[in-house]
């Protein structure tokens, strides 16, 4: 028995609406896939660029090309304006050190989440680590043993502490195993263990001793620099008002973004001397929401206004553009490798 005419009409209308939704979703996906330009052709020799640089002990910078949908490129540190080597990877955030890298990128498939794709010097993906949230930060330890990723699981920007939630995970770069979530660490402020339920961690940076790391801890509307031990799963607060720390190659200073209290310019890039705890505001006066990368012991790199900039770590001089249409720079130096870091004290 056929359904009444009114029922058939409703069914037809529903079918048309469903078809339109499917088509609309497909258009949206295609539009999103093509937004931000297109990927550049993979360069000849892309799979050997890092191994060749390592053999020649030639420093390079690995970064995201904003003009090519986050495609990862490699350029000489000494001449970043040179024609880059475009690789086969595209990422939302990239980090590389000690022969291993992390590419935070969307997983394949409809409505898929994100993954931390671990790769080697040939740009070959060696492991895929499922992660949840919106990619924010990534770092690799100097020897390539450990990695760290931070993702937003609530909110999508570092506004006021308490208005967002992050998850920061340590990863074994050799096998892709998740080591620990920083929220599982025991953290102390002086002699008191921090047990607040609003705790958030983000922005890990590693020392060279295969154990010590620094990160941001937020609780009670304040942010702190913490120094932690991977082996003991403990950490301690060191300094207040520190976000997205980055340890200098010589292990003596932390570059970070300091909250200013201004709504128009929320952060000021600053360097903290770990021995004296003396702060030095940098010459960059624009508000920078990034985890900086040290170019060397004298200069830092950071992303702002669609490009990578550099400025002196002692507060002198003026900022200059380092890379056009780029962000998430990772300076890769071979040879002697890491330098000793201060005692962890944990």
Task: Considering only residues 345 and 72, tell me which one the structure prediction assigns the higher pLDDT.
Answer: 72
Strands 186-189 and 234-240: parallel
pLDDT of residue 48 exceeding 60, the answer is yes
Cα 178–289–119 angle (5° rounding)?
Answer: 35
Q: With 0-12 CB in 10 A as exposed, 13-18 as middle and 19+ as buried, what is 59?
A: middle
Q: What's the whole-number mean pLDDT along residues 104-125?
A: 89
- State residue 255's pLDDT score: 98
- State residue 225's pLDDT score: 98
Token representation of residue 102? 């992390």
Token representation of residue 253? 């200073």
For each of the domains in the chain, give its residue range(s) and CATH number, in order of start: 42-332 (2.120.10.30)
- State residue 109's pLDDT score: 64
- pLDDT tens-digit readout, 166-203: 999 999 999 999 999 999 999 999 999 999 999 999 99
pLDDT of residue 34 exceeding 90, the answer is no
- State residue 19's pLDDT score: 40
pTM score > 0.75 for this model? yes
- pLDDT tens-digit readout, 140-169: 999 999 999 999 999 999 988 889 999 999
- State residue 111's pLDDT score: 54
Q: Distance between alpha carbon 203 and the CA centroid of its chain, in Å? A: 7
Of 5-9, 78-82, 277-281, give the range with the top mean pLDDT: 277-281
- pLDDT tens-digit readout, 303-322: 999 999 999 999 999 999 99
- State residue 108's pLDDT score: 79
């Amino acid at each position: 028995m056929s359904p009444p005419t009114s029922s058939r009409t409703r069914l037809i209308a529903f079918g048309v609406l469903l078809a339109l939704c499917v088509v609309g979703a497909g258009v949206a996906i295609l539009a999103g896939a093509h937004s931000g330009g297109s990927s550049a052709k993979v360069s000849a020799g892309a799979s050997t660029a890092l191994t060749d640089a390592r053999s020649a002990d030639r420093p390079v910078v690995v970064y995201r090309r904003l003009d090519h949908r986050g495609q990862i490129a490699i350029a000489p540190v000494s001449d970043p304006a040179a024609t880059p080597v475009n690789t086969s990877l595209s990422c939302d955030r990239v980090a590389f050190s000690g022969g291993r890298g992390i590419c935070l990128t969307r997983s394949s498939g409809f409505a898929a989440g994100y993954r931390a794709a671990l790769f080697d010097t040939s740009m070959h993906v060696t492991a895929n680590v499922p992660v949840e949230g919106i990619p924010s930060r990534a770092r690799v330890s100097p020897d390539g043993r450990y990695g760290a990723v931070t993702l937003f699981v609530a909110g999508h920007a570092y506004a006021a502490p308490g208005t967002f939630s992050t998850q920061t995970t340590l990863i074994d770069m050799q096998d892709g195993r998740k080591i620990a979530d920083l929220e599982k660490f025991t953290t102390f402020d002086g002699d008191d263990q921090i047990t607040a339920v609003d705790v958030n961690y983000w922005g890990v940076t590693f020392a060279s001793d295969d154990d010590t790391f620094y990160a941001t801890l937020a609780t009670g509307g304040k942010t702190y620099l913490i120094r932690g031990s991977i082996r003991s799963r403990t950490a301690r607060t060191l300094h207040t008002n520190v976000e997205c720390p980055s340890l200098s190659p010589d292990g003596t200073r932390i570059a970070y973004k300091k909250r200013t209290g201004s709504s128009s310019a929320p952060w000021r890039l600053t360097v903290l001397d770990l021995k004296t705890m003396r702060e030095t505001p940098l010459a960059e006066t624009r508000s920078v929401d990034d985890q900086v990368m040290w170019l060397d012991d004298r200069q830092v790199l950071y992303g702002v206004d669609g490009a990578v900039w550099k400025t002196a770590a002692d507060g002198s001089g003026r900022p200059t553009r380092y890379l056009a249409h780029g962000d998430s720079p990772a300076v890769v130096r071979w040879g002697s490798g890491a330098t000793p870091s201060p005692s962890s004290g944990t």
